[in-house]
Amino acid sequence: MTERLLSQLAHVEILTPVPDESLRFYTDVLGLEVSSRNGQSVFLRGWGERFYHSLQLTEGPAPGLGHIAWRAQGPEQLRTAVERVEAAGVGEGWIDADVGQGATYRYRGPGGHLHELFWEVERYSAPSGMESPFPNRPQRYVPRGVAARNLDHVTVATANPGADAAWHRDTLGHRFMEYTVIPERPDWIVFAMTTVCERAHDYGLVWDPSPVRGRINHVAYWVDSREELLRAADIFLNQDIAIEFGPGKHGMGEQDYLYVREPSGLRIELNTGGYRNYEPDFETVRFEPQQGSNVFYKNAALPHSMFESFPPVDLAPETVEETKAATGLFA
Ligand SMILES: [Fe+2]
């Protein structure tokens, strides 16, 4: 049984060496809204999001991860979560309130990724003219570009996806939903998914064969329907943004997917569909690649470029071949 300490994935900070080009992608092509700019960062959100931001875009030397932020279930659960992280010996301490959030505790996960935990959150308030005609929406729907509605998940690259996922389950109450192994190495998890909400994952973990810690594989945003996902494919192509993989459907989580690269090279996914699950005692599902873990429609194969994470690391050709063989995931 899993105790619920965290309520949702709140936002992700990503780094870009081409901030102007990246910002244009997120606003004009993905359709996100700018909440504010502060220093080297721009704070963005989808039209359906109630919080101040779901994406912090920060200028940096290379595409990569800044941090991942989780909102607690309440003030007591935040204290419990911090105690757990401190007991695990990976706490980095409290920082004062930051843009969009109150007091925040930072920890570094087993894969070297920086995470934040907080409870108090600043909510978006629509300026005059942007109010929605519907009382349950935070703002008017603006059909600009893809018009992504909200953040869906973040997928990191980590040395041991199974152990990292289990750590987040045991320490912070994530539900460990699904994982992939290849038949020849049944003890080695190459991809894992955890969740703190009703979706099959808000946190993905893929094996990183590089020695670099704390890398990110992609950030995913949500659209409401497969029609919108297909329209997004058309929008990307007409903006000269190459599609890396999809549109298609994953077996794990059953989500429809579409992957592109933003101008920094960082991978962005769009999702829709998928199952919802509310079982606190959900039994973790094991997949083998040939069962359709990545590709529900088994006539498609994952291109090896999908294994590239950020910041980019030049892997020796033998390491690339090793990853292909060790994961069994690629064409
Ligand atoms: Fe994903």
pLDDT in tens, 18-54: 999 999 999 999 999 999 999 999 999 999 999 999 9
Q: Quick check: 179 and 284 in contact, CB under 8 A? A: yes
Q: What pLDDT sits at residue 225?
A: 98
Cβ neighbours for 50, distance < 8 A, ≥ 6 positions apart: 123, 124, 138
Q: What pLDDT sits at residue 78?
A: 98
Question: What domains appear along the chain, each with residue ranges and CATH number?
Answer: 6-327 (3.10.180.10)
Rounded-to-integer distance, Cα 258 and Cα 325, Å: 25
Rounded-to-integer distance, Cα 155 and Cα 245, Å: 16
- CA 87 – ligand 1 centroid, Å: 30
Structure tokens at 61: 């030397």
Question: H or E segment at 195?
Answer: strand 185-195
Q: What pLDDT sits at residue 13?
A: 98
**Is the confidence at residue 328, as pLDDT, over 90?**
no
**Is the confidence at residue 321, as pLDDT, over 60?**
yes
Average predicted confidence (pLDDT) for the chain? 95
pTM of the model: 0.96
Q: What is the pLDDT of residues 150-164, one digit of tens each?
A: 999 999 999 999 999
By percentage, how much of the chain surpasses pLDDT 90?
Answer: 87
- CA 206 – ligand 1 centroid, Å: 10
Q: In what order do the strands lie in the sheet with 243-249?
A: 243-249, 255-261, 267-273, 215-222, 150-158, 203-207, 185-195, 175-182, 285-287
Q: What pLDDT sits at residue 223?
A: 98
Q: What is the pLDDT of residues 107-128, one digit of tens each?
A: 999 999 999 999 999 999 999 9
Q: What pLDDT sits at residue 331?
A: 62
Q: What pLDDT sits at residue 1?
A: 55
- CA 233 – ligand 1 centroid, Å: 16
- CA 306 – ligand 1 centroid, Å: 10
- CA 14 – ligand 1 centroid, Å: 16
Q: What pLDDT sits at residue 20?
A: 98
Geometric angle at alpha carbon 104, from 98 and 109, rounded to 5° = 120
Rounded-to-integer distance, Cα 262 and Cα 241, Å: 8
**Is the confidence at residue 206, as pLDDT, over 80?**
yes
Quick one: which of 253, 222, 309, 162 has its CA closest to 9? Answer: 222
- CA 150 – ligand 1 centroid, Å: 14
Average pLDDT rounded to a whole number, residues 78-83: 98
**Is the confidence at residue 264, as pLDDT, over 70?**
yes
- CA 110 – ligand 1 centroid, Å: 20
- CA 309 – ligand 1 centroid, Å: 12
Geometric angle at alpha carbon 41, from 63 and 220, rounded to 5° = 50
Q: Quick check: 36 and 99 in contact, CB under 8 A? A: yes
- CA 204 – ligand 1 centroid, Å: 7
- CA 257 – ligand 1 centroid, Å: 8
Q: What pLDDT sits at residue 326?
A: 73
Q: What is the pLDDT of residues 123-152, one digit of tens each?
A: 999 999 999 999 999 999 999 999 999 999
Average pLDDT rounded to a whole number, residues 61-68: 98
Q: What pLDDT sits at residue 175?
A: 98
User: How long a stretch of residues is the chain?
Assistant: 331
**Is the confidence at residue 3, as pLDDT, over 70?**
yes
Report in angstroms the alpha-carbon separations of 79 from 73, 95, 202, 206: 10, 14, 22, 29
Rounded-to-integer distance, Cα 99 and Cα 85, Å: 23
**Amino acid letter for position 281:** D
